[in-house]
Amino acid sequence: MEPEDFFGTISGGRVLDVATGDGNFIHFLVDSLKDYTEIIGVDNNKDVAPSFSAAFRKQRNIHFQLMDAHKLDFGDESFDFVCISNSLHHLDPEPVLREMKRVLRPGGFLLVSEMFCDEQTEAQMTHVLLHHWWAAVDTVNGIDHRETYTRQQLLDMVAALGLNDLTTFDLNDLSEDPKSKDFLAQLEVVFESYNQRANGHPELQSRGAELKARAKEVGFHSATTLMAAGRK
């Protein structure tokens, strides 16, 4: 079964997207869920609020709230669907997942979507290694950002929640040319910005240079994402 077929059968009801950023994952929810009544995105970074609001200005039932994912300011069992995308490696996963389960009603869906660092092709490993470099650069700049988890570590975190009817998907798209000149040119800009942020850390800058050479040599594909959803 494809994820669209699975999520297309689910009425989202009141939905919570934890660590929402500018709401990127909400676009997936809007496109995939059968329907929903309200979606709330929470994030602890106030700087993402304007881009979130701009993205959903036409949808009156999609809102942003400033909040720490480790201490959700919502009542027990107050959502029908609770999710988190590509953010567990920025957080302390155990308390965050516990909070997500607390605010979910019995029978509601909890969904974790996260890229993982193993079982990838060589071109996907460029993404994984780049991500680990970004995490190291963020860390020296005082931003919480860890390396991504293995697929099994993610499965273990979800298993510990004791959800029912667990369904998993491995999502990737290997159809693009991994050495696309356009894409490598875009990546160049990202290298430059992280390189500047690594000023004063020559070992991180040389790691960046090695990764730049790797991207040219073996190419780049986005790493596979695990989606795991189950009922409380």
Query: Is 221:123 a contact under the CB 8 Å cutoff?
Result: yes
Could you tell me the smallest distance in angstroms from the CB atom of residue 25 to ligand SAM?
A: 4
Instruction: Kindly state whether residue 87 participates in binding ligand SAM, applying the rule CB under 6 A.
Output: yes
Token pair 């929470």 is at which residue?
Answer: 42
Helices (H) and strands (E) in the chain, counts: 8, 7
Give CA–CA dist 226/50, Å, rounded.
29
Taking the least distance from each CB to ligand SAM, the nearer of 2 and 92 is: 92
Taking the least distance from each CB to ligand SAM, the nearer of 87 and 224 is: 87
Q: What are phi and psi of 155, to 5 degrees?
A: -60, -40
Instruction: Kindly state whether residue 69 participates in binding ligand SAM, applying the rule CB under 6 A.
Output: yes
> Taking CB under 6 A as the criterion, which residues in 173-202 touch ligand SAM?
none
Among 32, 44, 51, 153, binds ligand SAM (CB under 6 A): 44
Nearest residue to ligand SAM, by Cβ distance, number only: 21
Instruction: Kindly state whether residue 24 participates in binding ligand SAM, applying the rule CB under 6 A.
Output: yes
Taking the least distance from each CB to ligand SAM, the nearer of 14 and 131 is: 131
Query: Is 198:204 a contact under the CB 8 Å cutoff?
Result: yes
Taking the least distance from each CB to ligand SAM, the nearer of 84 and 163 is: 84
Query: Is 55:33 a contact under the CB 8 Å cutoff?
Result: no
| Strand ranges, E, within the chain | 14-18, 38-43, 62-66, 79-85, 104-115, 164-171, 225-231
Give CA–CA dist 111/108, Å, rounded.
10
Instruction: Kindly state whether residue 68 participates in binding ligand SAM, applying the rule CB under 6 A.
Output: yes
Could you tell me the smallest distance in angstroms from the CB atom of residue 48 to ligand SAM?
A: 5
Give Rg (Cα) of the chain: 18
- Provide the Cα torsion 167, 102, 42, 15; round to 10°: 50
Instruction: Kindly state whether residue 225 participates in binding ligand SAM, applying the rule CB under 6 A.
Output: no
The one-letter amino acid code at 14 reads R
Q: Which stretch binds ligand SAM (CB under 6 A): 81-89, 154-162, 166-174, 175-183?
A: 81-89
Instruction: Kindly state whether residue 91 participates in binding ligand SAM, applying the rule CB under 6 A.
Output: yes
Among 16, 19, 223, 227, binds ligand SAM (CB under 6 A): 19
Give CA–CA dist 80/16, Å, rounded.
8
Instruction: Kindly state whether residue 148 participates in binding ligand SAM, applying the rule CB under 6 A.
Output: no
Taking the least distance from each CB to ligand SAM, the nearer of 49 and 184 is: 49
Which chain residues interact with ligand SAM by CB under 6 A? 19-21, 24-25, 43-45, 48, 68-70, 85-87, 90-91, 144
